A and B are shown apart, each in its own frame.
Chain A
Amino acid sequence: MMASRDWLDVVGWSESFSGWSMDNVHNIMPSNDIDMQVTIPSTWAWQEPITLGPIFNMQSGFASIQPALESFMHATIMCTVVFTTMMLTMLAIPYIERKFIGRLMDRLGATTTLRSLWVGESGVTAGEWWKQLPFGMGVPIGWAVKALNSTWGNSHDLETIARVNNRSYHGYWFLLPGFFQAFADFMKFATKEHIVPKNADKVVFEVAPVIILATTVMVFAFVPFGPHIYAANPELSLLFMMAIFGIAPLGVFFAGWASNNKYTLIGGMRSAAQLTAYEIPLLITVLGVAVLSGSFNIIEIVDFQMGQDQGNVWNIFLMPLGALLFLVTMIAEVERIPFDMPEAEAELVEGWWTEYGGIRWGLMFAAEYMRSYAACILFALFFLGGWEAPFQHTLSGLPVVGGVLTTVFSLIPGMIWVLLKAWLLFAVFVWIRASLHRVRTDQILEFGWRYLLPLSMLNLVIAVFLRLQFWTGEPWELWVPVAVTLISGGLFVILAIDEDKEALEIQRRPYSTQAVVKASPGSHRD
């Protein structure tokens, strides 16, 4: 199989850099043998003189541990790169959450974090703090702020509307209002006091966030951001990753139990209860992906979707059912609405993390988003072709523009596509959160066991069938993904337009009445 590649070969760079550095270390070692032997002359006790100590060569000695050192250095670099990439690109995730949900729910809320402190709104400029600066240093700041306020401030011709718009400011997208809220939040959490409840199980209480956070970060070790950006790439990275992904609910249960609070306990219990409902369908769905792509290695799964000579179709077109199941079960796995019963803030104050505060709460919150982010990236990798541009091969093969597009695609590193797809997927998560209501415990159990599990088995059967019947080692015949997508889409539409015709007919109820004579003479009705 021809592995996909792009110019952003971070793994290669790291390897060559490690090799180069270690070679240099090797080269500056003294190359001559160092004789540290001491010979003890013979005495009456021993006839032969005894030679103690080594004759050693630092260079060749170093050479024996150089591969290990190189891989250690490489691993360190790649862990740093991947973790940094993850943390930096994850800044977009809470931003998407806040901004998109405002638009989805028609609540374009206050943008009062850094922007309104800096620019102010409606002529109000945060107390003109620049006047406090010495030596008139703040004068240019004042000019800038006032200019920004008058240009982009939230004003309206009608003063009342301008005031009200403090609540409903729509924002200018290029100012990215609120983007750095995550930093502000982190600073807030980091400076807060650490409070442990009096009756909590102290050890478990402290261990639980570590379990959650550590396993969450560990998931990203196996999640490639691009063909050459990953911390670890074992043969069975899919299995490793899914195994580690499933540990965090254990930490959730620990936290809920150890906090010794009724809300946290219920939250932890719910987490454990719903675990059984989604984890099995999730794993079977992922198994379907592995079967279809013929590998347990995430990078090979992506390569299969974008390979010229083997697969050439994104998995979502071959198993839309699997994509849907993966989406649903992953939402349950990362405990987002509509499956966020463990932290149902309407019923349980904050669910299993009610008792946590300060940086522990902040880090667990970050871990929640990391898990969502990982779920989005995994969806992109499993179903949306990973680091392949949409219809890259088709577009590159177009007669006139194909050459240009090939060049363009070769210039764009694959990580860009992964991130775009992941962010888009997260927008879908947010969309679902804004639209659907939280389900009950019994509902998710019924949903998981009676619908998700059989459907995931069906998906596995479909994957096996497709793999055995229609895959010959050649690229997929075009009609296969088209047919699968059309059939699945048709079924979905039939399910979606399921309007209850009977309900239309029984609208009239025996006891609902309407007075014919309008009660109030001044009524404006009719």
Chain B
Amino acid sequence: MSYKANTGHPHATPNFRNLVIRPMWMTLKTALRTVPFVGKLSILKNNYHGKPTTMVDATTMLRVGSNHPSVGQSFAPDRETSQVMPFVERPVTVMYPYERLEDLEPWLFVPGNYNGRIGIIWETCTACKACVKVCPNDCLHMTSEVRVNVLELTEEGDDHHGYGEELEEGGYAAREKGDYDGIASGFDLVNAHTDAPQQYDFAEVIELTGDKATVRWSDGSGIETIDSSTLKPAEQDIVSGQIDIGRCMFCGLCAEACPFESFFMTNEYDGMAEFSREELWMDASRTRVLPAVHQERVDLELAKRAKKEQKKRDRKAARAEA
């Protein structure tokens, strides 16, 4: 009987107290509550999980009037009493979403045992789209674009020089188009809502050797080895991440596919019922999980990236020496 299960809740541990004493006390309390006079003792009166059970509260009484038949009765929305025995109450329903089972009766609620709403730590997402590819129901949608992040382009003499992006094998690179300034100036910023000025030709960096870079152009024009000084580092950024939760079957393959510990099946079970299918399209804000909730995962991911960064700097230092 000293068997200790990691059930995650003290009320869910199978010991003498929880298997015998607690249930017997609960039933006894329930029975004693039906006894006239004795049932009114405060020790038996747990109202509704500690909240008052007045059917009509003061505010409601303003609306329905003080001669409504339910006024003065010890009702709760789900606890029925009668005038004959007003101290007999029957709790039936957890008044979700006003109340939730894990708040009221945590011993009945086993967290982490099911796949709930999808939660994503967007801060550590790299837009690799592994989740999108693996989703059997096509309910994940992610738009990303390769772009030049000007904030990363620190130059010689800047405060943060050396900390920004740089060309990297396997990464992305961009080359200014010939008409760079013309494209920018000719762009209709007022009327173009969906397009961005296409000032760059993007490419994937295949190999970096000295000053030369071998790249594969994204427009399909093939592999070319050019001077790396003409290239700017580019990166793939998320433009939008959406989930059609109405199509989701909560298989959790996406969470398993995520190589960056960013994708989770939470135990949230609400917020997935709406009045139209459109409302079931959940944007990034509705899937957000705070990094603090998964601090250890975030730390893991950050450590991984710090290691990578360190490697990069070591390489750079080695190159500088050479």
Give me the interface of A with B, judged by CB distance under 8 Å: 100, 103-108, 156-158, 161, 164-165, 168, 170, 431-432, 434-436, 451, 495-504, 506-507, 509-520, 523-525
Residues of A within 8 A of B294 (CB): 513
The yes or no answer to B90 lying at the interface (CB within 8 A) is: yes
Q: List 11 A-B contacts (CB under 8 A).
A: A104-B31, A106-B91, A158-B70, A431-B28, A503-B6, A504-B10, A512-B8, A515-B288, A516-B289, A517-B288, A519-B286
Q: How far is the CA of A501 from the CA of B4 in the complex (A)?
A: 11
The yes or no answer to B249 lying at the interface (CB within 8 A) is: no
Specify which of B23, B28, B84 is in contact with A170 (CB 8 Å cutoff): B84
Other A-B contacts than A105-B30, A108-B90, 20 sampled, CB-CB below 8 A, are A108-B34, A161-B82, A431-B27, A435-B28, A436-B19, A451-B1, A495-B17, A500-B13, A507-B8, A507-B9, A511-B112, A512-B8, A512-B112, A513-B267, A513-B289, A514-B293, A517-B288, A519-B271, A523-B270, A523-B271
Residues of A within 8 A of B28 (CB): 104, 431, 435
B220 to chain A minimum Cβ distance, whole angstroms, is 40
A429 to chain B minimum Cβ distance, whole angstroms, is 12
Q: Which of B85-119 contact A (CB under 8 A)?
A: 85, 88, 90-91, 97-98, 100, 111-112, 117, 119
Given known pairs A161-B80, A513-B294, the reply for A103 and B111 (CB within 8 Å) is no
A83 to chain B minimum Cβ distance, whole angstroms, is 32
Residues of B within 8 A of A108 (CB): 34, 88, 90
The yes or no answer to B20 lying at the interface (CB within 8 A) is: yes
Given known pairs A156-B83, A509-B112, the reply for A503 and B8 (CB within 8 Å) is yes
Closest A residue, CB atoms, query B114: A512
The yes or no answer to B274 lying at the interface (CB within 8 A) is: yes
Q: How far is the CA of A434 from the CA of B24 in the complex (A)?
A: 8
Cβ–Cβ contact B31 & A103, under 8 A: yes
Query: What 4 A-B pairs are tightest by C-beta distance, nearest first?
Result: A519-B271, A512-B112, A520-B271, A103-B31
Q: How far is the CA of A409 from the CA of B12 in the complex (A)?
A: 49
Residues of A within 8 A of B23 (CB): 435-436
Q: How far is the CA of A159 from the CA of B273 in the complex (A)?
A: 33
Q: How far is the CA of A168 from the CA of B81 in the complex (A)?
A: 10
A161 to chain B minimum Cβ distance, whole angstroms, is 7
Closest A residue, CB atoms, query B69: A157
Specify which of B9, B100, B270 is in contact with A519 (CB 8 Å cutoff): B270
Residues of B within 8 A of A517 (CB): 285-286, 288
The yes or no answer to B58 lying at the interface (CB within 8 A) is: no
Cβ–Cβ contact A524 & B282, under 8 A: no
Interface string of B252-269 (1 = CB under 8 A from A): 000000000000101110
Residues of B within 8 A of A525 (CB): 97, 100, 270
B263 to chain A minimum Cβ distance, whole angstroms, is 11
Question: What DSSP secondary structure best describes chain A's contact surface?
Answer: loop
Interface centre among A156, A170, A434, A515 (most CB of B within 10 A): A515
Cβ–Cβ contact B10 & A516, under 8 A: no
Specify which of B21, B88, B266 is in contact with A514 (CB 8 Å cutoff): B266
Q: How far is the CA of A523 from the CA of B17 in the complex (A)?
A: 36
Residues of B within 8 A of A500 (CB): 4, 10, 13, 15
Q: How far is the CA of A104 from the CA of B30 in the complex (A)?
A: 5
Closest A residue, CB atoms, query B85: A170
Number of A-B contacts (CB under 8 A): 141
Closest A residue, CB atoms, query B20: A436
Given known pairs A506-B8, A523-B97, the reply for A497 and B17 (CB within 8 Å) is yes
Q: How far is the CA of A503 from the CA of B1 in the complex (A)?
A: 15
B84 to chain A minimum Cβ distance, whole angstroms, is 6
The yes or no answer to B303 lying at the interface (CB within 8 A) is: no
Q: How far is the CA of A294 from the CA of B138 in the complex (A)?
A: 81
Q: How far is the CA of A304 from the CA of B193 in the complex (A)?
A: 99
Specify which of B17, B34, B266 is in contact with A499 (CB 8 Å cutoff): B17
The yes or no answer to B189 lying at the interface (CB within 8 A) is: no
B215 to chain A minimum Cβ distance, whole angstroms, is 40
Residues of A within 8 A of B26 (CB): 435
Residues of B within 8 A of A161 (CB): 80, 82
Cβ–Cβ contact B289 & A515, under 8 A: yes
Specify which of A106, A158, A519 is in contact with B117 (CB 8 Å cutoff): A519
Given known pairs A104-B30, A518-B271, A519-B117, the reply for A506 and B6 (CB within 8 Å) is yes
The yes or no answer to B16 lying at the interface (CB within 8 A) is: yes
Residues of A within 8 A of B273 (CB): 520
Cβ–Cβ contact B7 & A503, under 8 A: yes
Specify which of B8, B70, B82, B117 is in contact with A515 (CB 8 Å cutoff): B117
Closest A residue, CB atoms, query B285: A517
Residues of B within 8 A of A514 (CB): 266-268, 293
The yes or no answer to B290 lying at the interface (CB within 8 A) is: yes
Cβ–Cβ contact A435 & B80, under 8 A: no
The yes or no answer to B314 lying at the interface (CB within 8 A) is: no
Given known pairs A503-B7, A503-B9, the reply for A519 and B264 (CB within 8 Å) is no
Q: How far is the CA of A161 from the CA of B119 in the complex (A)?
A: 43
The yes or no answer to B272 lying at the interface (CB within 8 A) is: yes
B176 to chain A minimum Cβ distance, whole angstroms, is 39
Residues of B within 8 A of A103 (CB): 30-31, 34
Given known pairs A157-B69, A168-B90, the reply for A503 and B30 (CB within 8 Å) is no
Q: How far is the CA of A511 from the CA of B16 in the complex (A)?
A: 29
Residues of B within 8 A of A158 (CB): 69-70
Closest B residue, CB atoms, query A500: B13
Cβ–Cβ contact A496 & B289, under 8 A: no
Residues of B within 8 A of A106 (CB): 30, 90-91
Interface string of B275-290 (1 = CB under 8 A from A): 0000000100111111
Residues of A within 8 A of B20 (CB): 435-436, 496
A47 to chain B minimum Cβ distance, whole angstroms, is 94
Specify which of B24, B30, B100, B112 is in contact with A432 (CB 8 Å cutoff): B24
Residues of B within 8 A of A157 (CB): 69, 83
Q: How far is the CA of A108 from the CA of B84 in the complex (A)?
A: 14
Specify which of A504, A510, A516 is in contact with B288 (CB 8 Å cutoff): A516
Residues of A within 8 A of B266 (CB): 512-515
Interface centre among B13, B100, B271, B294 (most CB of A within 10 A): B271
Q: How far is the CA of A501 from the CA of B271 in the complex (A)?
A: 33
Closest A residue, CB atoms, query B275: A522
Residues of A within 8 A of B100 (CB): 525
